[in-house]
Structure 1
Amino acid sequence: MLEIKDLSVSFDDFTVLNDINLKLDKEVYIILGPNGSGKTTLLRAISGIIPYKGSIKINGVEVRSAKGLLEYSTNLQEVYTIGNSVLETAKIISEIKKGDLKDFFKILDYLNLDRRVIHKPIFKMSTGQKALVSLALALFTRPQIVTIDEPIENIDINRLDKVISLLRERINEGIIVTHQKELIKLLEKNVRVYNMVNGELVEDNKMQ
């Protein structure tokens, strides 16, 4: 379960997120909004990367006070700098979260990624490689709760169906943020849709 209460995030005098309240339990939410609307900032707060006001709890544990939440994962690339290479990072994650490293390689092969890419750090990859590798790192341990940032951005058309298939198969609880509304139909899942508007969440069926 992910529960967010009265969440606000500000940088200097600029408020990015204002009074966000959200609760999901074995559900998938899609949050729509243009680039710069605060969607990624929300995921960064949930991941414990940035300070926030209010409360974010994953299975009852406050994120800011947690050293590591093994049941949670994200594709935010900044969390995958713990190793000198992607392979080293994957090994560390596998050990910590008791994941099967073979599953990581299976996802890479499924996405038609050259395995040689994993000997690089993620920041030295192409934009498309970063997107695919970070998705594989997020999903290979089969986490209970997942947050995914812009999963089909920078994905070439030949891999799009495979990325959608992975999302459909492996995410049963979590948040996917995107500025591409077509993702809702592509997923073919029963999802709840929100829009990020001026740093606040508005449920899609309440938009006028």
Structure 2
Amino acid sequence: MLEIKNVSKSFGKKSVLNNISMELDEGIYGLLGPNGSGKTTLIRKITGLYPIKKGEITYNGTDATVCKEYYASIGYLPQNFGLFKELTVKEVLEMFAALKGIEKDAIEQDIERVLKIVNLSDETDKKCSDLSGGMVRRLGLAQAFMGNPKIIILDEPTVGLDPEERLRLKTSIAKFSKNKTVLISTHIVEDVETLCNKIIIMKSGKILMNDATQKIADMAKDKVYILPEDELVNVKTGYHLEKNFLNDGLNYSRILSNSKLDYAQPKPTVEDAYIYAIHNLESSL
């Protein structure tokens, strides 16, 4: 088990993480939050890129800073994954295998294994300069999977990808996640809603929500309404407009409100709860 205890981080006078505590066991966790919420800083604390000066991170009960097993157990895909463009896909993975200390006689088999997971087996000899953006992200995922780590940390893994590549990437993550601890940081709710067992929502360096995916969605119960768009003027209480959409030739609005309104109430989603949390609707409506 990975446990974060009272971890804080500041840059000068600006507090970026404020007393963060949570436990990560086996399963897929979605770390949601708007840009600037502290997600990447938290990940850099977990992966050891930022030293732990305030708080503590433990792995299976041992302080992570003195536990060699901990850092050897992490596979990490940073938000900006750069490559040596003149290297081939295989050469990149051989380089990461060496950095991770994977035994030489196991490297070939491990490369074949991870390339199969991310559906890049036919691109082994292709230079990185010839890869599409989606292929580069999948190669980044492959290097994170090398060595069969117990903990996978992915920072904005689907950023800049089209819907088809996002689906490929999520499928690869699902294939590899069994008996692992996977933390996916993103601000795209759709990417984690169906993939993750648990959701953590951050804002301004604090954790607003941390629970099972369905329980997170249920936090928006009785707060979501669908009504004809032209009836919005009749809503006298405060509300947050999520979206307008067309259905059977008529324009409708989906809104969030704390007030009891006499309109249709659809089943709430994680996105509803996310918007409800980050816009502080509980106190503002």
Shared fold (TM-score greater than 0.5)? yes
**Paired amino acid for 2:170:** I
User: Equivalent residue for 2:163?
Assistant: 157
**Paired amino acid for 1:91:** A
CA-to-aligned-CA distance 1:105-140 (integer Å, 9 cap, x gap): 3245x14774345667xxxx8754542222111123
User: Equivalent residue for 2:75?
Assistant: 73
Cα distance in 2 for residues equivalent to 1:10 and 1:160: 33
Between the two structures, name the one with larger relative contact order (CA 8 Å, sep ≥ 6): 1
**Paired amino acid for 2:198:** R
Matches within 5 A, 1:55-70: 55-67=56-68, 69-70=71-72
Moved more, 16-25 or 164-173: 164-173
With the length of structure 2 as denominator, give the TM-score of the two structures.
0.60
Instruction: Compare CA radii of gyration and give the structure with the larger one.
Output: 2
Contact 1:3–1:57 under 8 Å retained in 2: yes
**Paired amino acid for 1:59:** N
Contact 1:17–1:42 under 8 Å retained in 2: yes
User: Equivalent residue for 1:181?
Assistant: 189
Matches within 5 A, 1:161-172: 161-171=167-177, 172=180
Distance 1:169 1:104, change over 3 A: closer
Cα distance in 1 for residues equivalent to 2:61 and 2:27: 16
| 1:89 correspondence with 2:95 | yes
Cα distance in 2 for residues equivalent to 1:177 and 1:186: 15
**Paired amino acid for 1:183:** D
Cα distance in 1 for residues equivalent to 2:103 and 2:58: 21
Contact 1:29–1:192 under 8 Å retained in 2: yes
For structure 1, list consecutive stretches of 5 or more residues without a partner in the other structure: none
For structure 2, list consecutive stretches of 5 or more residues without a partner in the other structure: 211-215, 220-276
Contact 2:76–2:152 under 8 Å retained in 1: yes
**Paired amino acid for 2:174:** R
Distance 1:66 1:49, change over 3 A: farther
Distance 1:193 1:175, change over 3 A: same
Matches within 5 A, 1:25-174: 25-52=25-52, 53-67=54-68, 69-76=71-78, 86-92=92-98, 93=100, 95=102, 100-107=110-117, 110-111=119-120, 114-116=123-125, 128-171=134-177, 172-174=180-182
With the length of structure 1 as denominator, give the TM-score of the two structures.
0.79
Contact 2:115–2:121 under 8 Å retained in 1: no
1:193 maps to which of 172, 186, 199? 199
User: Equivalent residue for 1:12?
Assistant: 12
How well do the aligned residues superpose, as a CA RMSD in angstroms?
A: 3.1
| Local SS of the residue matching 1:183 | helix
| Local SS of the residue matching 2:102 | helix
CA-to-aligned-CA distance 1:156-204 (integer Å, 9 cap, x gap): 33322221111112124231111000113342x5x11121111011215
Q: Percent same amino acid at aligned positions? A: 32
Cα distance in 2 for residues equivalent to 1:11 and 1:61: 27
**Paired amino acid for 2:209:** E
